[in-house]
């Protein structure tokens, strides 16, 4: 079957690059999300909102987190890009909600 194994090499290299690259990309998004959150969202409810009893939280899934972030972003009266929202979701998800990606 693998008569030209060398043809797989570029594919393998790509996979390695993506795997190696992923953590730094995520870290960057998270740092940005954290900054956005702390400067624009933090005033109102601080982090304790996110640390309350998990059973009472409106956020049980990543989808719900996205919905809440979108909903609350309106309260800041600023416009957020899709990327901004995704970064904030990433930050809150990793730092507070520990949701599966
Ligand atoms: C006007 C004040 C205010 C601002 C601004 C605000 N929030 Fe909130 N947020 C709240 C309050 C109060 C609650 C809890 C009330 C509730 O759950 O109905 C809440 C709840 C949440 C929740 C759900 C918490 C849970 O676990 O149930 C998320 C997620 C959230 N906010 C994210 C954000 C993000 C992201 C921003 C900035 C884009 C933001 N909020 C800006 C007041 C605010």
pLDDT over threshold 60, residue 96: yes
Residue 65 pLDDT > 70: yes
Task: Please count the structural domains in the chain.
Answer: 1
Extract the tokens encoding 46: 């601080």
CB 86 within 8 A of CB 32: no
Are 59 and 68 a contacting pair, CB within 8 Å?
A: yes
Residue linked to tokens 């959150």: 37
68, part of any domain: yes
Query: How many angstroms is it from 7 CA to the middle of ligand 1?
Result: 51
Q: How far is the CA of 22 from the centre of ligand 1 (A)?
A: 29
pLDDT band at 77 (very low <50, low <70, confident <90, very high): confident
Range of the domain at 47: 25-97
Does residue 10 form part of some domain?
A: no
Judge whether 66 lies within some domain.
Answer: yes
Looking at residue 83, its pLDDT comes to 94
Q: Is residue 19 part of a domain?
A: no
When pLDDT is cut at 50, 70 and 90, the band that residue 25 belongs to is low
Can you give the pLDDT at residue 7?
78
Length of the chain equals 101
> Ligand 1 pocket, 95 CB below 6 A?
no
Out of 1-5, 35-39, 41-45, 63-67, least confident range = 1-5
In a domain, 13, yes or no: no
Residue 81 forms part of a structural domain: yes
pTM to 2 decimal places: 0.74
Residue 86 lies in a domain: yes
- Residue 12 CA, ligand 1 centroid: distance in Å: 43
Query: Cα separation of 85 and 83, whole Å?
Result: 5
In a domain, 16, yes or no: no
**What atom in ligand 1 is closest to the CA of residue 80?**
38
Question: How far, in Å, is the centroid of ligand 1 from the Cα of 25?
Answer: 26
């Amino acid at each position: 079957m693998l008569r030209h194994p060398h043809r797989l090499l570029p594919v393998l290299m790509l996979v390695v690059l993506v795997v190696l690259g992923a953590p730094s990309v995520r870290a960057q998004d998270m740092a940005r999300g954290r900054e956005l959150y702390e400067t624009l969202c933090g005033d109102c409810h601080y982090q304790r909102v996110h640390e309350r009893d998990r059973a009472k939280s409106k956020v049980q899934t990543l989808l719900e987190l996205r919905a809440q972030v979108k909903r609350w972003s309106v309260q800041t009266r600023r416009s957020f890009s899709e990327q901004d929202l995704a970064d904030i979701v990433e930050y809150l998800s990793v730092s507070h909600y520990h949701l599966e990606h």
